[in-house]
Amino acid sequence: MKTIFKSTALLILALATSTLSFAQEEETTEPEKTFELSGSVDTYFRYNLADDQLQAPGTSFAGSPGFAIGMANLIASYEGEKSGFVADLVFGPRGNDAVFGSTIGSSPIVNQLYAYYNVSEKLTLTIGNFNTFLGYEVISPAANFNYSTSYMFSYGPFSHTGIKADIALNDDWSLMLGLLNPTDMTEFNALDTYMFGAQLGYKGQYLNFLSGMGQTQIDYTGGFNLSESFYLGINATSFDSGEDTGFAGVALYPQLTVSEAFAVGLRFEAFADDSYVFAEPELDNTSITLTGSFTSGNIIFKPEFRLDSASESIFTGAELDPSESLASFLVAAIYSF
């Protein structure tokens, strides 16, 4: 019996060893773990078609006069078989404005910092600090067609810290559910209250929802390829603070690709501020932004003309001579790697 037991044990050990060796051989055929360093650098020249150069649209970024700098963006990412991380750092004026909620306790350089785990092919869990899922535009100028940003983007949110689950329901439908800190409270939660976020996607069209602290925002982001060279992006949003204040807006982004090196696009935006930032009961803003995009290798040059107009005289500068409209021109250079 001892001989039979010993023989059986040796057989099981041999099978286990061969199975382990086979599994190790199989592992070599799976995708390799990868580390990547990417990012961008942007700078620009901006000029108002007015005497006062300190005036600027009431939107985020690209508001400094003359030659100015945007930000340096460094993104380190690691992708394993089942998990990975992203560490996204920003430096410069645009970066400081983007992560203003991160100034408590450390330097405001962390744009995103999160880890993720692929539970299955259809479910990914992400925990940490990540850019918002609402809206058409993003913080990085390399990912936007227009260099200056819209009112809807500028009024936020910019980023969230929390946990989210991305679910692929099928080939066409997707669902995201998230439990988040209060908006732009990116380092920790000092209020002991949380917000709920959700996104329902269908073939590149997204319905976004964010609620908590008596605030609710509903946002639609999407677009359509009307031809091989013509694309129409759409963004609409409505925010209610729960205190008879809020904002709402809609924007269209028609873009025409002329060649591999050149494209041109417009942004038409209508925006209403219902006593959320300004003291007026309701302030209406409209803006038209015309942007060209010249690409050569890793660098993109973007000449841009923008016309802003408002129902009240909100455009002021050093001379404190308010105006209801502002026309401006800029040329930006964006290098991505």
Say what the pTM is: 0.86
Q: Alpha-carbon torsion 133, 137, 141, 143, what sign? A: positive
The answer, yes or no, to whether residue 12 has pLDDT greater than 90, is no
Residue 107 lies in a domain: no
For residue 160, the cross-strand partners are: 130
More reliable by pLDDT, 5 or 269:
269
Residue 275 lies in a domain: yes
Q: What is the pLDDT of residue 79?
A: 95
Count helices and strands (H / E) in the chain. 3, 16
Residue 17 lies in a domain: no
For residue 38, the cross-strand partners are: 75
The CATH number covering residue 265 comes to 2.40.160.10
Residue 64 and residue 47: Cα distance in Å, rounded?
9
Contacts 24+ apart (CB under 8 A), 242-246: 242/214, 242/215, 242/216, 243/214, 244/274, 244/275, 245/274, 245/275, 245/276, 246/274, 246/276
Overall number of domains in the chain: 1
Coil, strand or helix at 216: strand
Coil, strand or helix at 6: helix
Q: What is the pLDDT of residue 106?
A: 53
**CB contact at 8 A, 211 and 195:** yes
Q: What is the pLDDT of residue 156?
A: 85
More reliable by pLDDT, 238 or 9:
238
Query: What are the tens digits of pLDDT across the range 319-332?
Result: 667 788 999 999 99
Q: What percent of the chain has pLDDT over 70?
A: 88
Residue 20 lies in a domain: no
Burial class (CB in 10 A: 0-12, 13-18, 19+), 320: exposed
The answer, yes or no, to whether residue 299 has pLDDT greater than 90, is yes
Q: What is the pLDDT of residue 107?
A: 59
Residue 210 and residue 218: Cα distance in Å, rounded?
7
Task: At 186, give phi and psi (nearest 5°).
Answer: -90, -20
- Mean pLDDT, the chain, as a whole number? 88
13-22, 88-97, 184-193, 208-217: range with lowest mean pLDDT = 13-22
For 172, the token pair is 């066409």
Residue 79 lies in a domain: no
Residue 263 lies in a domain: yes
Range of the domain at 146: 48-61+114-336
Residue 83 lies in a domain: no
The answer, yes or no, to whether residue 80 has pLDDT greater than 70, is yes
Query: What are the tens digits of pLDDT across the range 255-287?
Result: 999 999 999 999 999 999 998 888 777 889 999
Query: What are the tens digits of pLDDT across the range 118-155?
Result: 999 999 999 999 999 999 999 999 999 999 999 999 99
Residue 106 lies in a domain: no
The answer, yes or no, to whether residue 2 has pLDDT greater than 70, is no
Beta strand pairing call for 173-180 and 215-225? unpaired
Residue 300 and residue 143: Cα distance in Å, rounded?
11
Query: What are the tens digits of pLDDT across the range 181-193?
Result: 998 888 889 889 9
The answer, yes or no, to whether residue 161 has pLDDT greater than 90, is yes
The answer, yes or no, to whether residue 218 has pLDDT greater than 80, is yes
For residue 45, the cross-strand partners are: 67, 331
Q: Give the model's confidence band at 22: pLDDT under 50 very low, under 70 low, under 90 confident, else very high.
A: very low
For residue 29, the cross-strand partners are: none
Q: Which of 23-27, 28-32, 276-280 has the highest mean pLDDT?
A: 276-280
**CB contact at 8 A, 289 and 328:** no
Q: What is the mean pLDDT of residues 96-110?
A: 74
